[in-house]
Amino acid sequence: MSSSAKENSLKFPESTIKELENFTKVVCDGRNFLKNKIEFQTEEWSWTADLDDDGMFIFCYLFYDYKQNILNLESLKESIYTLELLRNKILPSREITGLPQLEEFQLLFTLYERMKREEMSWENCEKYITDQIAKYQLTN
């Protein structure tokens, strides 16, 4: 199949379209889940209405740890905001890293899993992200 056949009429590669569809599905499912469950219609869950799409995507990943009692409600909220902060302050732009959107989130989730096992300073988080981006760039 030629490369032009792999692109849609807007000239986005099919992989980008598929990635966007997957991201959007997770975000929509997360929002619908929160909206349709009575237990999340309380004041203590009201902060979730303020999450942007990236925050909702992160919420969907971390919610598993909340259900497993690894995170309580406050640590769930704190962890989401921390990962958003790391993503916005430490992670360079996609133009620089070359990371697709879901790879960025995978990098954050891998960092999160590591942070659950060991305490990491901001500098160590930054170094971890930089090292992982360098590995990605070498293989792609």
pLDDT tens for each residue of 16-30: 788 889 999 999 999
Alpha-carbon distance values, 122 to 39, 90, 111 (Å) = 34, 9, 12
Give the global pTM: 0.81
Beta-strand ranges (E) seen in 14-122 are: none
- A 10 A CB-CB count for 38 gives 6
User: What pLDDT does residue 13 have?
Assistant: 63
Q: For residue 3, name the pLDDT band (cuts at 50, 70, 90).
A: very low
Give the chain's radius of gyration (CA, Å).
Answer: 17
Burial of 48 (0-12, 13-18, 19+ CB in 10 A): buried
User: What pLDDT does residue 135 have?
Assistant: 87
Average pLDDT, the chain: 87
Structure tokens at 139: 């293989």
